[in-house]
Structures are given as C-alpha cells and as structure tokens.
C-alpha cells in the first residue's frame, strides 16, 4: 500500500485540512475584529454590542465554537504527534539489536530517543504549540458587562399618588416577584435601573418579658402598629405592624436587599429610653416597578488582539507541520499493531526468530 492517501497519511491529511479550516475561521474573526465597531483599541476590539441577555447568548455560542475548533485542532495535532513518534521498521530492528523495545500503536515518549532528529524536532514543535492554545484560545473572545447603579425603594401601596405616578409612567415597567428577583439576582444589572418595591405590610416578631417595674405602655416601636396580648401569659407577644410611611430607602446593595427581604426580622422590646430600630423586618411585596436604562446596549462581546494573534500563529505552525509530515511519503511508519504485523510477516526480524509473543 504505497498510496499517499492510505493508512496514516490519510489521517494526517485529514488533520491538515481540518487545521487549515480552523485557521481560516480564526483569521476571519481576527479581521472582523479589526473592521467592526471601530477596530482594535488598546489591543481589544468589539465584535458585538447589545443588551445583556443577547450578548450572553452570543458569548456562549462563541465559546462553544471555540471549544469545537480547539478540540478538532488538538486532536489532529495529537494524531500527527503519534505518527511522528511511531518507529520505522529500520528503527525497530536497530532497537531489537540493542536488546531494547519500542512502542507501537500509542503516542509514546519512549520512542523519541530512537527516531530521527528531524521528526523529533517536528514532534516538539507540535507539542509546544499546543500550550498557548490551552492558555489563550478560550480567553481570546470574552463578554464585557457594565453594571448600572440603582436605588431600591419601598413604596407603600396605600400611598396612591406615588403608585399612580409609577403605574401611569410609560418609561417604567411593572414586574411580578419572580421577574424582579430574577432580574436583580445578578451582581451586575445591565438593562434596568432603580426598582420600586410595592409593599402592603411589614411583619415582625417580638417578645415581651413581663417585668414588675414596667407596664405595656413603657414599650414602643418607631412605627404605628396593632397588637393583642393575653394578660394571663408572662411571655410571647405577637403582632403585625401596618406601615404608614411614604417609602423607605435602602442602600444600593443587592446582597443587603436579599438579606432584608428573606430574613424574618426578630424585634427585641426595650423600655422607651432604650428603644431601637431594626432593619431586618419581613416585607410583604405585592409586585414592583422597574425603571429601564436609557441605553441597554452596554454589554459587549470583545476579542483580544494579542491572544488571537498567538492562537493564529500556533494554528499556522500546526497546519504546516502536518503538511510536512504528510509529504514525507518515503517513511513507512509502524503506527498501528496491524502495520507491525504486516511488516514482520513480510520480513521476519532475525533478532527475535524463535521468540514467542
């Protein structure tokens, strides 16, 4: 089988073609980055710009593509490395004469000491060019998300003037509890701004410890409330506070917002002179109003000039080495055990005559 397109040569040729296709795709991405959205600025270019959810989907698609391309390129490279370190029949006979053995059918570094210097150099070029691909390929294309500053406000549902103003606004969007929690659960909020949480009541739990020196009138909270108490019990007083203020403001921190909304606040009662405010109440939220940002196209898919240039360089080197290996049709490498069996059946090894397998 002297055909150039048979056996390992067909595998190396397929890998060379595949590497060339990957190289063309990488060059296209590089050129698109140089021409789209103002080209490269400080080594980075913008491939796409748009809303956060759309850019997130595009970024995922790009990284799936990169993983497919890198897997194909590295698979072709590994197969060519196995071919290059596979011994010829002459190299096997020489090793047997020295009382040594060589590996056939696997990518074996043991064989590197017995192959020609030219093949050894090509093998190392393929091996070293794989390292930058592992380090830089996935980092060459990435997503950039800009987070908006926002204010979270509690709005009393009974305050009709504020509610009507929010509800009638054409620039404010109404969201149910599931929607706004999902939107504001991210660390970076890209498409929305201030949020108004519509609250119909605030619930709290507290304990009243009966003391001979204090009466019930000595205890107070900082907001109006209704309550009932069983005078026969010394402990346990539960009640519900109806909120009558306009709105409350909390800091622009989603972690604090989640903590405030999800924790069940525990109030400790103190005498009037020691009364304190506790922010960890439980707020019953009906829904919310969200203010969209004026320009939601703040997220980007960007490409790094240096990283992509390194990837293209390594890709080109691999394709070139595969082409050189394919054109070296003079060598009959024993790549598989079938190749070795065919060779030894055609011409037995005098060193191993009479030896069992």
pLDDT of residue 70: 94
Confidence of residue 253 (pLDDT cuts 50, 70, 90): very low
Q: What is the pLDDT of residue 72?
A: 95
Average of per-residue pLDDT across 304-316? 95
pLDDT, one tens digit per residue, over 258-279 is 333 344 333 333 333 333 444 4
Q: Taking Cα atoms as reference points, which of 352, 325, 356 lies closest to residue 84? A: 325
Radius of gyration of the chain measured on its C-alpha atoms: 36
> What's the pLDDT at 250?
35
Average pLDDT, the chain: 74
Residues 147-160: tens digit of each pLDDT: 667 778 777 777 77
Who has greater pLDDT, 70 or 115? 70
SS3 (DSSP) at 51: coil
| Mean per-residue pLDDT, 300-313 | 93
Q: pLDDT tens digit string along 219-235?
A: 333 333 333 333 333 33
Q: Say what the pLDDT of residue 285 is.
A: 80
- pLDDT(119) > 80: yes
d(CA 175, CA 27): 44
Q: For residue 206, which of 191, 196, 218, 220 has the smallest C-alpha distance? A: 220
HSE (CB half, 13 Å, CA atoms) of 327?
6
Regarding predicted confidence, which is higher, 152 or 316?
Answer: 316
**Threshold 0.95, pTM exceeds:** no
Q: What is the pLDDT of residues 73-117, one digit of tens each?
A: 999 999 999 999 988 888 888 888 888 888 888 888 888 888 889
For residues 258 and 185, give the distance between their C-alpha atoms in angstroms, rounded to a whole number.
9
- How high is the pLDDT of residue 277? 45
In this prediction, residues 165-185 reach a mean pLDDT of 81
Q: What's the confidence (pLDDT) of residue 147?
A: 66
Phi, psi of 10, rounded to the nearest 5 degrees: -65, -40
Helix ranges (DSSP H) in the chain:
8-35, 52-85, 89-97, 117-140, 160-168, 177-183, 254-262, 305-327, 337-346
Quick one: pLDDT at residue 183? 78
Question: What's the burial of 120, exposed, middle or buried (CB within 10 Å: 0-12/13-18/19+)?
Answer: middle
What's residue 124's pLDDT? 96
- Tokens 């504001």 identify what position? 184
Model confidence at 247: pLDDT above 90: no
For the segment 60-80, the average pLDDT, to the nearest whole number, is 94
Region 36-64 average pLDDT: 86
Q: Residue 295 has what pLDDT?
A: 61
**pLDDT attached to residue 188:** 67
């Amino acid at each position: 089988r002297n055909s150039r397109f048979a056996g390992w040569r067909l595998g190396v040729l397929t890998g060379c073609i595949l590497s060339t296709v990957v190289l063309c795709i990488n060059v296209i991405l590089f050129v698109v980055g140089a021409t789209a959205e103002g080209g490269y600025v400080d080594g980075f270019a913008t491939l796409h710009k748009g809303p956060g959810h759309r850019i997130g989907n595009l970024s995922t698609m790009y990284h799936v593509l990169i993983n497919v391309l890198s897997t194909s390129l590295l698979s072709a490279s590994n197969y060519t490395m196995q071919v290059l370190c596979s011994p010829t029949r002459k190299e096997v006979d020489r090793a047997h004469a020295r009382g040594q053995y060589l590996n056939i059918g696997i990518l074996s570094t043991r064989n590197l000491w017995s192959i020609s210097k030219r093949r050894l150099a090509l093998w190392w070029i393929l091996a070293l060019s794989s390292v930058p691909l592992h380090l830089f390929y996935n980092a060459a294309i990435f997503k950039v998300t800009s987070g908006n500053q926002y204010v979270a406000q509690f709005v009393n549902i009974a305050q009709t003037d504020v509610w009507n103003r929010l509800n009638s606004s054409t620039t404010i969007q109404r969201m149910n509890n599931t929607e706004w929690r999902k939107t504001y659960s991210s660390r970076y909020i890209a498409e929305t701004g201030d949020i108004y949480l519509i609250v119909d009541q605030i619930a709290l739990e507290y304990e009243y410890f009966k003391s001979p020196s204090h009466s019930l009138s000595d205890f107070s909270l900082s907001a109006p409330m209704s309550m009932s108490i069983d005078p026969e019990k010394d402990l346990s007083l539960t009640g519900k506070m109806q909120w009558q203020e306009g709105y409350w403001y909390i800091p622009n921190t989603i972690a604090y917002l989640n903590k405030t909304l999800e924790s069940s606040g525990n109030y400790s009662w103190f005498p009037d002179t020691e009364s304190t405010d506790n922010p960890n109440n439980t707020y019953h939220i009906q829904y919310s109003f969200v203010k969209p940002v004026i320009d939601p196209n703040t997220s980007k898919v960007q490409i790094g000039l240096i990283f992509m240039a390194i990837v293209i360089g390594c890709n080109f080197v691999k394709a070139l080495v595969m082409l050189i290996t394919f054109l070296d049709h003079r060598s009959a490498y024993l790549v598989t055990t079938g190749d070795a069996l065919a060779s030894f059946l055609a011409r037995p090894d005098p060193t191993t005559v009479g030896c069992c397998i």
